[in-house]
Homo-oligomer: A and B are copies of this chain.
Amino acid sequence: MKIAIVYHSGYGHTAEQAKAVAKGAESVAGGIVKLIAVGDNETPWDELDSADAIIFGSPTYMGNVSAPFKKFMDESSKVWMARKWVDKISAGFTNSASQSGDKLNTLQGLAVFAAQHGMIWVGLDLMPGNNNSKGSVEDLNRLGSFLGAMAQSNADQGPDNGPIASDLKTAEHLGKRVATLTARFK
């Protein structure tokens, strides 16, 4: 079983989130996990075509996926034509400085993109955290997201300080969930 995590990170926060997703996926027996950063480098399309699952990650910039990640999405139109990703498992994650920060729009865009490729979409299966008087930002799924994993990192701090632990654990949970379901589906 091979799981590819393809992401863009502008300042390193989304890269931390991607590593957490990878950690979760690797915790499932029998999984080979490939972390693939897009943007400056040539995309290794073969790695994606041979994966059983592809997890997409992008920062939310101006309410949507980043331009470098969109470039990857546009370039995937050749793969789309060839229907190479049909029936693969897919999922998504995103980070931004704002709590909500229109991150849902990014996840919706990723889900629509995966659907164009004929992929199967897996979201989080977590109840929302930090939504009651006993909750805190330490809760798993503290941002209350379901279509994919959200993380929040302060605008004035580097990737050493964000995303915070709960967001990374939420990302890890997504990775584990995708790997578990991919194993079952395969």
Contact = CB atoms under 8 A, between A and B. Distances in A.
A50 interface: no
A124 interface: yes
A111 interface: yes
Given A86-B125, A99-B144, A131-B98, A120 B120 contact: yes
Given A70-B65, A146-B112, A155-B131, A184 B185 contact: yes
A133 to B, nearest CB: 5
Interface string A64-99: 111100110110110010010011000000001111
Instruction: Pick the most buried of A63, A133, A150: most chain B CB atoms within 10 A of its CB.
Output: A63
B132 A156 contact: yes
A118 interface: yes
A3 interface: no
A12 interface: no
Given A67-B67, A73-B64, A154 B125 contact: no
Copies of this chain present: 4
A111 B145 contact: no
A21 to B, nearest CB: 17
B99 A130 contact: yes
A5 interface: no
A42 B27 CA distance: 43
Interface in A29-67: 61-67
A97 B63 contact: no
Contacts of A62: 73-74, 76-77, 80, 113, 116
